[in-house]
């Protein structure tokens, strides 16, 4: 009998949201994503001690070099397992600096290419700030494809599509977390504000023929995932992949290009002032974007401290 995970694969590309190689092997996803929090968690695991030591041995005491090489080393190992792409994140502390983001993205791609990996297999993860979106627009013109992350609002999604980015990662669970904290409500999957946000973005992209891929992310339960069956991609943590694999039966497709074309979306265009205003008007997106950048930056500092301790 097929499982919910088997059924989901018929409609949606499955991406592993982890830095743990064994979990990726177990669930055979098409792609994989990493971020500073996942790299920090994996780097502290005994089975990856040798990889960390290799980074430190090659890079001496230059912390920026060590962080970049560690991210790329994890990416290289993941690419040996998945047939598709891996996402590698730009330092969140650069989220409001377009030029620094461009420089870091080019440096990461150069490291992959030096190791024989074509840039088509890499997605550079960048926070969906105005500055990050502008950097992604330029990188896409250079054939460096981007995954715009920490995306919590329709305004961010519109700006990313207009910039021609490859892929966006709207954070379903964190949107739900915010609304739950504000209202005290428990949300059924179909009424989940994060699910509704991704559904709106998906319908808008398909109705107006944007090529940007939608990858739902940051799930809290399998109900959120199954409500988005049909989304271009879904990046799912190992524990939720396990639940989906253990659940027998078929799932219906909830999102499709056909239904999107019939949706009532209206075309919007945003310049910088309009983007900043719309983001400002969305309290959830404003708070969660700032919080997400702070959290990723904090985990990057923790990773630096972890590597410094290894150097001593």
Q: Output DSSP code: residue 128.
A: -
Q: What is the β-pairing status of strands 31-33 and 86-89?
A: parallel
- Spatial distance between the Cα atoms of 51 and 276, rounded to a whole number of angstroms: 42
- Catalytically annotated residues: 125
Hey, what's the torsion of the CAs at 292, 186, 236, 112, to 10 degrees?
A: -10
HSE (side-chain half, CA atoms, 13 Å) at 179: 20
- Which tokens sit at 61? 């005491």
92 three-class SS = helix
Q: Cβ(1)–Cβ(17) under 8 Å?
A: no
First to last CA, the chain: 54
């Amino acid at each position: 009998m097929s499982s919910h995970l088997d059924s989901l694969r018929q409609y949606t590309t499955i991406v592993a949201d982890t830095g743990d190689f064994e979990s990726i092997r177990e669930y055979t996803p098409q792609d994989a994503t990493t971020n500073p929090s996942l790299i920090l968690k994996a780097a502290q695991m005994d089975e990856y001690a040798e990889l960390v030591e290799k980074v430190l041995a090659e890079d001496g005491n230059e912390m920026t070099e060590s962080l970049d090489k560690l991210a790329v080393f994890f990416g290289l190992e993941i690419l040996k397992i998945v047939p598709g792409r891996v996402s590698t994140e730009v330092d969140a502390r650069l989220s409001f600096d377009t030029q620094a983001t461009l420089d870091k993205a080019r440096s990461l791609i150069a490291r992959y290419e030096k190791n024989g990996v074509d840039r088509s297999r890499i997605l550079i993860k960048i926070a969906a700030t105005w500055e990050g979106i502008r950097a992604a627009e330029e990188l896409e013109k250079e054939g460096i494809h981007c995954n715009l992350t920490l995306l919590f609002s329709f305004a961010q999604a519109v700006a990313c599509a207009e910039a021609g980015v490859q892929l966006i990662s709207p954070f379903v669970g964190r949107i739900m977390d915010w609304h739950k904290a504000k209202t005290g409500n428990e949300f059924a999957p179909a009424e989940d504000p994060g699910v509704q946000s991704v559904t709106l973005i998906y319908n808008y992209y398909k109705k107006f023929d944007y090529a940007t891929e939608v990858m739902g992310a940051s799930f809290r339960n399998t109900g959120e995932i199954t409500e988005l069956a049909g989304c271009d991609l879904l990046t799912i943590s190992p524990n939720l992949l396990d639940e989906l694999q253990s659940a027998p039966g078929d799932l219906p497709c909830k999102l499709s290009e056909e239904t999107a074309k019939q949706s009532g979306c209206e075309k919007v265009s945003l310049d910088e002032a309009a983007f900043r205003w719309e983001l400002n008007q969305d309290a959830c997106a404003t708070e969660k974007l700032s919080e997400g950048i702070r959290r990723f930056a904090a985990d990057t500092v923790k990773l630096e401290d972890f590597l410094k301790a290894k150097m001593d």
